[in-house]
Each structure stands twice: as structure tokens, then as C-alpha cells.
Chain A
Amino acid sequence: MLRAALPLLGLPMAGAGTTAEPTQESVSRDEPPPGLELFRWQWHEVEAPYLVALWILVASLAKIVFHLSRKVTSLVPESCLLILLGLVLGGIVLAVAKKAEYQLEPGTFFLFLLPPIVLDSGYFMPSRLFFDNLGAILTYAVVGTLWNAFTTGVALWGLQQAGLVAPRVQAGLLDFLLFGSLISAVDPVAVLAVFEEVHVNETLFIIVFGESLLNDAVTVVLYKVCNSFVEMGSANVQATDYLKGIASLFVVSLGGAAVGLVFAFLLALTTRFTKRVRIIEPLLVFLLAYAAYLTAEMASLSAILAVTMCGLGCKKYVEANISHKSRTAVKYTMKTLASCAETVIFMLLGISAVDSSKWAWDSGLVLGTLFFILFFRALGVVLQTWVLNQFRLVPLDKIDQVVMSYGGLRGAVAFALVILLDRTKVPAKDYFVATTIVVVFFTVIVQGLTIKPLVKWLKVKRSEHHKPTLNQELHEHTFDHILAAVEDVVGHHGYHYWRDRWEQFDKKYLSQLLMRRSAYRIRDQIWDVYYRLNIRDAISFVDQGGHILSSAGLTLPSMPSRNSVAETSVTNLLRESGSGACLDLQVIDTVRSGRDREDAAMHHLLCGGLYKPRRRYKASCGRHFISEDAQERQDKEVFQQNMKRRLESFKSTKHNICFTKSKPRLRKAGHKKKDGVANAEATNGKPPRDLGFQDTAAVILTVESEEESDSSETEKEDDEGIIFVARATSEVLQEGKVSGSLEVCPSPRIIPPSPTCAEKELPWKSGQGDLAVYVSSETTKIVPVDMQTGWNQSISSLESLASPPCTQAPTLTRLPPHPLGIEEPQVPPDLSSDPRSSFAFPPSLAKAGRSRSESSADIPQQQELQPLMGHKDHTHLSPGTANSHWCIQFNRGSRL
């Protein structure tokens, strides 16, 4: 029991139970169970996973503790802290267990700890930057590593020949070359850990980091070749073996890359068909990437290269194919795993160093190695950079070279490789282990600590983050094309030419093959930026707290928290209206024209001081009259314009508006119509019966007044429609929700024939300049039905976003079930074809409804309503509503 509890204290690590296990097992086997046990201790059964979990937990807790103090983490890289922590933990284990049992096992390291880190870095590698600098990266990775390995190995051998290394270190030239090959490689884990906190400019980062990833192939080959040479004995090595060694460099690197690309292709292709099983998308990414790693490892190719290429190659297609949720999941899981692995690696490194039985110290060797790796790294960088600068458009200057030399950190890969050495074949292994540990510690701790001040002191260009703008994106593409064209004209088929070719090939074949059709569209980068900008706008807009917008696929879980908002549902409006009413949203637009007038006044006020966007959709008016579709598109555009302007102009006003809709659900809603009355009833609380709803087509509109709503539910995860909530200005709605709705009656005549006309005819919309833009909050919250499409289109991009922290504003919390946002403009036409989707609303019933709702205990429930706008509803609603019939379409809520 005591022994078993030991791991609980976080002391022992993986493999801790090796001593405890047998005794416990024998105990449990020998004693026959004395009847039913109330309590059984089964430590040995869970031991291994338990220890792993504990291990990670300790590492994570340590991470949390480190980050409690901002001062410490800003000065000391996390990797240093973790190594030190590992030293401390290792010391404790040593003190308690009297022997060091744990260390970084090469097997664990290569099979479990390294892949997540490499995958993470490959997947999130800025590919453009990477390929822009591929020449430099490859040079440093291949030539640089070879250079480092040979010079270090030979220099150490020279040191030994000079008698500066103690004679007890029994190593020949080959041994030193072997040692040189494993100690020379810059380590991706260490580089990433340190450079991520330093924020040097991207070019510098990508060169150092890319080198550390790609040199794996060289390291692996060198290590294997030297190792087999050592094992064969230098006498037996023949000339062909050297040739084989060189050939294997190509086999290992190109083979690894090929394996990675094959798996990237498979992965992209697989995710194309996961539309119905979204849930396994993230899993697929990890599985196939890991399969790539293992396959390469199995064929003794460069596994790091394989995973890097896999991540690099598949990202574009995978990201396009998988849903937003999956994308987030992939991102976070990947980052979590990588950070976890990194943490554990550094901690284990620290712990491993404690185990003094494994290493033997020789000052000459240690100091010599330290000096040589630093010196030859610097020399190599300078020489290579000089050559490279002959070919580089932007030469790497001296400061860059200093950082590159100094940033050549060694890490866990070297350590794992040195542990893997066979002591019988390499008699000096213990010395090598000690030296490696010192080198790793020195580079990670000393260089890691000093590189930040160094970068500051040298005034290295830092990376600057600026938000992408559409202009930049567009012009950048233009530049690419221009350069490709100019290379054509000049007749020099250089980088730009091939990049352009590749992009054309990709567009024509690869993307067609690897992306699902629906994803293909959003793939365009310019569109992508546009889309993201829209999201950002919408978010900041919501964050402002002034206006409440939510959009396609967003539920209203945040609604209850918006305590200033109460609702007057459409049903209320309806009830209050008394007369037969067509409760098309379009109608409501004008229905509340009294308030509109107020808003217009407000608008004029605001127009004075606020941004005056221009009215651009005019230009397009002429283009699209031909078909109804065209008209719709125009409306869409108009609507988008309006929304955009509103986003820009009214951040600080008091109007609160909330729209929610879920277009993807439209189709569903259409089906649900058939479910009939009961649904409407259930969703709506009592009203449906009172109101005599006979059908449940699509629309519920909730207009909220400022009355406080204490409703706490509305946490539907899947809203099935458009929830459309508007909050009126306080002046207008002082009398509460009733007032607004009472205006329903007088207004129908103002209803314009079509929403587009409404845009043009409403007084404040007619002006070109100031008036043109503004859609009062009242009018916009009551958006003409067909404009909803435009709205959807422009806002649907929101779907992927996590909720902003703002409490007052509604938070955008939920990802939609389908990432279909962008495709939404194509609305399922089946809604409109259903004859039952609209109906006349008898006045008496409406009245009944009103009386009921005034005692509105059911407000919260109304919030739950699943309003949905039939896309083409307006086509069969008489647009004028001059007949004063109000048509309502209700859809049943999702939560019944």
C-alpha cells in the first residue's frame, strides 16, 4: 500500500512499478480471496497508465505554477524551468528510491513524445514562408548539419590526439564522428520552445526552425551510418559502404518526405468524405499523421520529415474539408498534445540528468564539445550565409547570422540518440552521455536564457503582427502574378514561375480531387480574408455591446444573461395588433413605423457625427433585374451593404438588435411543417392553440423590448431557425413591450411592395449620402424576409467563433451543426413550394393571443421558439399586405 501510494505523491514515473509489481501479484495470487471484498486495491492493474497520467499531470501543474508569475516566465523560458524542475524531481526520486529509475526512454521519446510536436509544427507551419525560404532552410539543414557533424567529430578526435581528453575515453575517429553526428543536429523541440517566446522576425524563425525539422533526415542517416560503421569496426568498412551511406541520405530524406506526402494525400482524400461523420474528423487527422510517422519509422526513413510533410501537405485541403468545430478541435488537440509532450520531454531530460550511474565525466571532452559545437555552428552559418546571400533577394545580415548561430539549440533528440548507443560497441558511451547532457543543458538553459536579451540588444527585427486587410491580400496575389509573369517575360523560370505553375496545377487538379465541392469555394484566399474580416467586424460589433447580433447557427444561450433585454415576441405583436395581420417580417418592418420615425430622427442625429458609408449597391441595381433570383441577389447585396454600414456606424448607439438564424435548418424546418399543430403548441407554450395556429412553417420573430427578462433557459444547442430579436430604444419602449406592438395596426399600408423598394422609399433611405445608408435599428431588426439571405450570407461567417467574453452583449457561442454558412445563399426552395406555409390569421384569434401574452409568464418559453424565416415566403405573402391580413408562419421549436 505504501509503495503503491508512492506514485500518488508524484514521485515515481513510468515503469515505477517494476519492483512493486511482482510482490503484489504474488500476494494476491497466493491468498485465496476471503469472501467478498469490500475494498480491493489494484494498483498494479492501473499502474502504467496511472503513472503516465500522473506524470503529465505533474508536468501540467508545474506549467501552471510557472505561469502564475508573469515575471519569471518573461525572463526564463519555460523549457529551462521544466528542466530545472526535472532536476529537482529527479533528485527527490533519487533520495527516496536510492536509485534513479526514470529517464527519457528513447522508445517513448521517438514513438510518443516527438510525433505530436513535429506534427504540430508541420501542420501549423506557415507554408508560404517555408517555401519562400526553402533554399536556405535546406542548405542549413543538409550542408550545415553535415558540416557540424564532421567538423565537431574530427575536432574532438584531434583534441583527443592532442591529449586533452583523458585517455580513459576510449574512442576512435569513428566514435567521435558518431558522437558528432548526434550532437550536431539542431533540435526542433528546443528551438521551438525557445524561439516561440523570442518572437524574432518570421524569416529568421522559419530558417532556424525549418532547419531543425529538416535536418532530422541528415541526423538519422549520419547517426545510422556512423553507428553501423562503428559496429562493423573501422577495418571492415569498405568504399561501397561510404557510397551506400551517401545514397541512404537521399533514400531516407526523400523517402520520408514521400511517405509524408502520400499520407497527406490520403488524409485529404479521406476528409473529403466525412460529411456525415464529422465527429471523427479530428481523429483522422491525428491517426493518419501518426501512421505516416510510424510508417516512416518502420521503413527507417526520416519520420520527422514524414510528419512534417504530412502536416504541411494536408493542411490546406483538410482545413477546407473538415467542419469548423473539427478545425478547432484539431487545433487545440494538436497544441495540447504538443505542449504536453514538450513539457514531459524537458522534465524527463532534467530527471535523466540526475542518474549519475549512466554517465561519466571528462572535462576535456565536455568543454571541447561545448566549444566546438558553438564555434563550428557559427562558422558554418557564416560560410553558408555568405554563399546563400549570393542567391537571396533579401540577404541575411550579420545580426541574423548571430541569432542563427546562437539559436542552434541541442535537445532531446540528441539525448535520446546517445542513450540508444550500444555500450559494448561504443565504449565511451558514458562519456558521450555526460557530454550530451551538458550540451543540452547548456544550450537550453544558458542559451535559452540569454537569447532573449541578445535579440533585444542586437535589435533583431521582431515579427510584427498586423491584421490582414483585403487590400493587402489582393495586392499580394497581384504581386505574385506579376512576378510570375515577369519571370515569364524574362525567360527565367525561377521560384515565382514554379510557384505559379504549382498553384495552377493545384487549382485544376489537386483541389478538385481533394476538396469537397462545397469547401472548394471558400478555399479562395481572398474570399477567405474577406470572410474572416466579416467575422471580426461582427464580433467587435457585438463586443461593443451596442448591438446584438447573432447569426446563422448561433443560439441564444447568452440571451438570458443580457439582462436588459426582454422580449416581445411576434406573437405578442400579433396579439396586440388585434386585426388580422400578416406577420411577415417585412410587414413588421413597416408596422412599427412610428418607431421608425423616431429612429430616423435618431439617424439624422447620428449621421452628423458618424461615418457615412457610401451607397454602392446602386451600381448593381441595374444589373440584376432579369430574374427573380437576380432581384434577390440584389436585395442580398443591399442588405449586406446595410449591415456592413451598420456595423461600422452604430457601434455606440443604444439600439440593441439580435438576429439569430440558422439557415442550414431551413430544410429541416420545411420537413417539420408536416408535424403540424402539436409542435407549434409545444414550443410556444399555450399560445398556439389560442391563436389557432394550424401550421408550422417557418417564422417566429421575437421583438424584444427593454424589459428585463429573467429567463434562464434558452440554452438550446441546436436552434432550428431564425431567432430574430430586436431591442428597441428605451425612449420608444418605455411603456414596455405592448406599445411597440400596438403600432402594428396602423401601419400596414406603408408596407412597400418589396423590401428593396422599402430600402429606397423609406425616407431615411432615399438620400444618397447621409440618409442612404442608415437602416434604423427598428427597420433592420425587422428585416425583410428576402434580405435575410443577404444577411445570412454576410454574417454566416460568424459560425466558427467562440463567444466573446462580453457579458452584456450576446455571446456567439455555438458553432453551427454544419459549416454551411457560406453556401447558404442557396436556400432550399422547397419551403416556398409548400402551400401550407402561410395562412391568414383571424383577428379574433390574434386578440386572444394578446390577452394571453400580457400575463407573459411564458416569455422565456417564447424565447425558445425556433423562429425560422422561410426564404421565399415573401413570394406568396402579398407583399403589400394592403389587405391587412397578417401571415404568420411558425415553426416548431427544437425543444419540445
Chain B
Amino acid sequence: MGSRSSHAALIPDADHIRRETGFSQASLLRLYHRFRALDRNQKGYLSRVDLQQIGALAVNPLGDRIIDSFFPDGSQRVDFSGFARVLAHFRPVDEEDSRIQDLKQPEPLNSRMNKLRFAFQLYDLDRDGKISRNEMLQVLRLMVGVQVTEEQLESIADRTVQEADEDGDGAVSFLEFTKSLEKMNIEQKMSIRILK
């Protein structure tokens, strides 16, 4: 993919995407090549199938959910700007971002909150803004090995929800989710270096 001519000019709407995502020119270019490589029929967008082709994603327990997050609102295709926008969540946070943040109106996509929101929506299947016990259980089922029995899973799910649940509604809201992770260095844990 790198052999193709690598000019930022090729990327449609490059400036706008850069402004929105904060990617550097080089990263954006890299992503664009990747996008083109994934887009097997050069149709200009990616479909679910395109992403499912990625080998290791199939074995990733959360692979399906992550693919889903590229297709918000049930759409079946994602263009480059959407692709870049999702990946922008994983751009490392640097000092510039935090400085600019006050001036700029929207929060950058790679802010702590947005990183967390991305993770949150992987849990929150029905998009009701809450991780119910059932949703927790489903994630746990994906993550925890087969060797843990179903009832153990359930008790783990119970406990997990209970632990984070503060208002006692039996579900974890986004606020509670953030709170349960407030000690964790999300900026660091949810960043990939090459996406600068």
C-alpha cells in the first residue's frame, strides 16, 4: 500500500478531517493508505465485511463490537472521515491538545471523556446510556475464558455492576463508569503511539 503515491492531496477533505481529528499529516496519510487497502473494491467506503476480513480482529473477543463502532446508527458503510474519526479516539494526548481545548469549541476526540465514551459504548449495546447487568454479563462472557462457569460469570457481573453502581439502579451509567475508572490513566491506556 505504501507504494501508491503518497500525497495528502489525494485524501478527500483532508484539512477538515485533520482539524477534526487532530491527526498529523503523516498519520492521516498512513490511515488513508490503510483505508484504501482495506477497501478492497475501491468503492470509496468500507463495509462491515471489509473490516471483518482483518485476520486478527476475528479472534478478538471484542472484535465485532469494535467493528460496530465504526458504523454508528446502523449505517452499513463508513467513509474515510468516519474511519479517521473513530481512530482519532486513540490518538495520544499531548499537551497541545489540552491547551487548545479551552479555545476550541468541541472537545477533541482523543480527550479522556471521549476515550471513555468509546469504551462505554462497547458495553452499552442498547445505547440507553447504561450498562445493565445483562450487558455486563455479555461482555464478561466474551472476555472471561470458558473455564469460568456461567454462574460464576453471573456473580462476577453482579459484583461488577454493584461495585460501580452508585445510584442503585442496577446499571452503570456513563458517569458511574468514568468514576470507577477515575484512578486509571485512561489517556495512556487508550492511546496508540503511531496515531500521533
Contact = CB atoms under 8 A, between A and B. Distances in A.
Interface of A: 391-394, 464, 466, 469-472, 474-479, 481-492, 494, 496-497, 500-501, 504, 507, 520-521, 523-524, 526-527, 530, 533, 612-614, 616, 619-620, 633, 636-637, 640-641, 644, 793-794, 825
Given A483-B190, A490-B87, A490-B192, 7 more contacts: A470-B160, A471-B160, A481-B143, A491-B34, A494-B193, A533-B159, A616-B133
A394 B147 CA distance: 36
Contacts of A477: 143
Given A470-B159, A471-B181, A527 B152 contact: yes
A285 B156 CA distance: 32
A504 to B, nearest CB: 6
Contact of B122 (A476, A478, A613): A478
B9 interface: no
A470 B163 contact: yes
B145 A485 contact: no
Q: Chain B contact residues (Cβ within 8 angstroms of A): what range? A: 35 or more
Given A501-B56, A637-B155, A485 B66 contact: yes
Contacts of B170: 614, 616
B145 to A, nearest CB: 5
B34 to A, nearest CB: 4
Contacts of B195: 490
* B contact face: mostly helix, strand, loop, or mixed: helix
B3 interface: no
Nearest to B161: A616
Contacts of A393: 92, 188, 191-193
A483 B144 contact: no
B54 to A, nearest CB: 5
Contacts of A613: 162
Interface in B106-124: 118-119, 122-123
Given A472-B183, A483-B192, A489 B54 contact: yes
Interface string B54-82: 11110111110010000000000000000
A490 B159 contact: no
Given A470-B160, A471-B180, A490 B31 contact: yes
Contacts of B31: 490
B164 A523 contact: no
Contact of B87 (A391, A489, A614): A489
B24 to A, nearest CB: 14
Given A482-B122, A637-B154, A526 B194 contact: no
Contacts of A619: 133-134
B57 A469 contact: no
A392 to B, nearest CB: 7
Contacts of B147: 520-521, 523-524
A752 B180 CA distance: 41
A794 B155 contact: yes
B136 to A, nearest CB: 8
25 contacts: A470-B156, A472-B181, A472-B184, A481-B61, A482-B118, A482-B122, A484-B60, A485-B63, A486-B87, A486-B192, A488-B54, A494-B194, A496-B192, A500-B60, A501-B56, A526-B143, A527-B148, A530-B155, A530-B156, A612-B168, A614-B168, A616-B170, A619-B134, A633-B151, A793-B151
B17 interface: no
Contacts of A483: 90, 189-190, 192
A466 B184 CA distance: 10
Contacts of A484: 56, 60
Contacts of B194: 490, 492, 494
Nearest to A485: B66
Contacts of A527: 144, 148, 152, 156
Contacts of B122: 478, 482
B178 to A, nearest CB: 11
Contacts of B159: 470, 530, 533, 644
B184 A494 contact: no
Given A489-B87, A521-B147, A527-B148, A474 B160 contact: yes
Contact of A481 (B60, B87, B158): B60
Nearest to A790: B151
A526 B59 contact: no
Contacts of A490: 30-31, 34, 87, 192, 194-195
Contacts of A491: 1, 34, 37-38
B163 A466 contact: no
A501 B57 CA distance: 11
A474 B139 contact: yes
A466 B192 CA distance: 25
A794 B156 CA distance: 11
Contacts of A392: 193
A492 B31 CA distance: 10
B151 to A, nearest CB: 5
Contacts of B183: 464, 466, 472
B149 interface: yes
Contacts of B119: 475, 478-479, 482
A476 B143 contact: no
B51 interface: yes
Contacts of A492: 192, 194
Contact of A394 (B123, B139, B163, B188): B188
Contacts of B66: 481-482, 485-486, 489
Contacts of B152: 527, 530, 793
A793 B159 CA distance: 14
User: Lowest 3 CB-CB distances: which A-B pairs, in order?
Assistant: A521-B147, A471-B180, A485-B66
A300 to B, nearest CB: 38
Given A485-B62, A497-B56, A641 B158 contact: yes
Contacts of A481: 60-62, 66, 143
B140 interface: yes
A392 B196 CA distance: 11
A786 to B, nearest CB: 13
A100 to B, nearest CB: 52
A486 to B, nearest CB: 5
Interface string B162-184: 11100010100000010011011
Contacts of A504: 59
Contacts of A475: 119, 180-181, 184
Interface string B125-151: 000000001100001100111011111
